[in-house]
């Protein structure tokens, strides 16, 4: 039979209110002896609060809704891990929704979650929200929300921004400093993902080093291994390309495969740089030079900001800027200058 707060109170010889306040970290007025006695019983019997029941009383379900475009995407899997690492110790769980790159699905999940008594929402989206779902629309009056959207939707606070431009600029500059002048880029297809800052960093690095931008050296594809493979096959028809900057690490994996099938070697024949800094990039052969962005931290801070919004609705949520870091490994060759 499941243990209740009343059972714990009887076993400890205290009131139900005392147990409730100690479990909710509001028991500072009770003695340390009383606290230890209650918590010992809780631990011995592996007591877990009934959040459905407490929702009726406190209007808190300890449940967070989260919508991401692709649960299998390496980047979002780390974001989700960061979210859970912050929420789970606080007793929260997430309802995870996979929009499958569809804004229609995204909006459907927003409506569904609004009827499921979640305490708040985390929405990872590269879309501008329609007016009826905009942050100032009133839709979120009883359901706090934090966006993971690279600052796309306008707001004064709660923006999570990664210095993607700087990271891309440093990556391409590294290739140039190593003697590369014919540098290709694999970028996202126009559509669901928009990583323009990475593309801008690529173009501006070329310009600042007095190298001409050549549109033939830019190929689009899905931000997946398959997308990187197919885009690389097209890009590498240009035999003078000596280096490739990939929109993310998944595309870099596909690029590795395409280069291998051509009978070429990395970095002896073609240098490759990725973006994301995924753990698996350390195990690629050769190890991938990449721009690391703190995907875990993005999720962690998004969750932290959301809980702050839930618990302190009058407090202004800050903005957070995340640095990137160029991780130099073994996939870039220095060309001999003539």
- DSSP letters along 71-82, please? TTSHHHHHHHHH
Q: What are phi and psi of 184, to 5 degrees?
A: -90, 165
Take residue 328 and report the two structure tokens written for it: 């130099």
- From first to last of the 338 residues of the chain, give the pLDDT tens digit: 567 788 888 999 988 888 877 876 665 678 888 888 888 888 888 776 655 455 544 557 789 999 999 998 889 999 999 999 999 988 899 999 999 888 999 999 999 998 888 999 999 998 889 999 999 998 998 889 999 988 888 898 999 999 999 999 999 999 999 999 999 999 988 654 568 899 999 999 999 999 999 999 999 998 899 999 999 999 999 999 999 999 999 999 999 999 999 999 999 999 999 999 999 999 999 999 999 999 999 999 999 999 999 988 888 999 999 999 999 999 999 997 54
151-186 residues labelled b (16+ CB within 10 A) or e (exposed):
eebeeeebbbebbbbbbbbbbbbbbbebebeebbbb
Q: What is the DSSP letter of 294?
A: -
Cα–chain-centroid distance for residue 138?
26
pLDDT at 304: 96
The Cα–Cα gap between 160 and 321 comes to 6
Q: How much is the pLDDT for 127?
A: 86
Q: Which tens digit of pLDDT belongs to each residue from 135-193?
A: 999 899 888 999 998 888 889 899 999 999 999 999 999 999 999 999 999 998 865 45
**What pLDDT is attached to residue 105?**
95
Distance CA 210, CA 186 (A): 21
pLDDT for the residue numbered 56: 45
Tokens of 205: 């690095």
Determine contact, residues 8/48, Cβ cutoff 8 Å: no
pLDDT of residue 45: 81
Alpha-carbon radius of gyration of the chain: 25
pLDDT of residue 264: 97
Residue with tokens 């979640």: 118
Longest dimension (CA), the chain: 86
Terminal C-alpha separation, the chain: 81
Q: What is the pLDDT of residue 262?
A: 97
pLDDT at position 338, please?
42
pLDDT of 108-129, one tens digit each?
999 999 888 899 999 999 888 9
Write down the pLDDT at residue 6: 82
- 21 burial class (0-12, 13-18, 19+ CB within 10 angstroms)? middle
């Amino acid at each position: 039979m499941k243990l209740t707060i009343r059972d714990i109170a009887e076993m400890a010889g205290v009131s139900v209110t005392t147990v409730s306040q100690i479990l909710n970290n509001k028991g500072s007025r009770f003695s340390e002896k009383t606290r230890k006695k209650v918590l010992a019983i809780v631990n011995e019997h592996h007591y877990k609060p009934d959040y459905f029941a407490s929702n009726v009383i406190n209007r808190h379900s300890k449940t967070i809704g989260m919508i991401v475009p692709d649960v299998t995407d390496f980047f979002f899997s780390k974001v989700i891990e960061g979210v859970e690492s912050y929420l789970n110790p606080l007793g929260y769980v997430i309802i995870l929704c996979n929009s499958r790159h569809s804004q229609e699905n995204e909006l459907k999940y927003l409506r569904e979650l609004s009827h499921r008594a979640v305490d708040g929402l985390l929405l990872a989206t590269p879309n501008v929200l329609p007016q009826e779902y905009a942050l100032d629309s009133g839709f979120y009056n009883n359901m706090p929300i934090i966006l993971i959207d690279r600052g796309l939707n306008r707001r004064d606070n709660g923006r999570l921004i990664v210095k993607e431009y700087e990271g891309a600029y440093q990556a391409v500059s590294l290739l140039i400093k190593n003697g590369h002048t014919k540098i290709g880029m694999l970028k996202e297809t126009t559509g669901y993902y928009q990583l323009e800052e990475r593309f801008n960093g690529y173009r501006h690095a070329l310009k600042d080093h007095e190298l001409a931008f050549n549109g033939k050296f830019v190929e689009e594809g899905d931000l997946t291994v398959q997308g990187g493979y197919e885009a690389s096959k097209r890009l590498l028809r240009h035999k003078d390309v000596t280096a490739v900057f990939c929109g993310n690490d998944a595309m870099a994996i596909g690029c590795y495969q395409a280069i291998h099938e051509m009978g070429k070697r990395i970095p002896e024949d073609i240098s490759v740089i990725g973006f994301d800094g995924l753990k698996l990039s350390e195990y690629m052969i050769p190890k991938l030079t990449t721009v690391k962005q703190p995907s875990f931290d993005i999720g962690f801070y998004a969750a932290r900001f959301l809980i702050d919004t839930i618990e302190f609705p009058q407090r202004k949520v800050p903005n957070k800027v995340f640095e990137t870091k160029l991780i130099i490994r073994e996939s870039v060759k220095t060309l001999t200058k003539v």
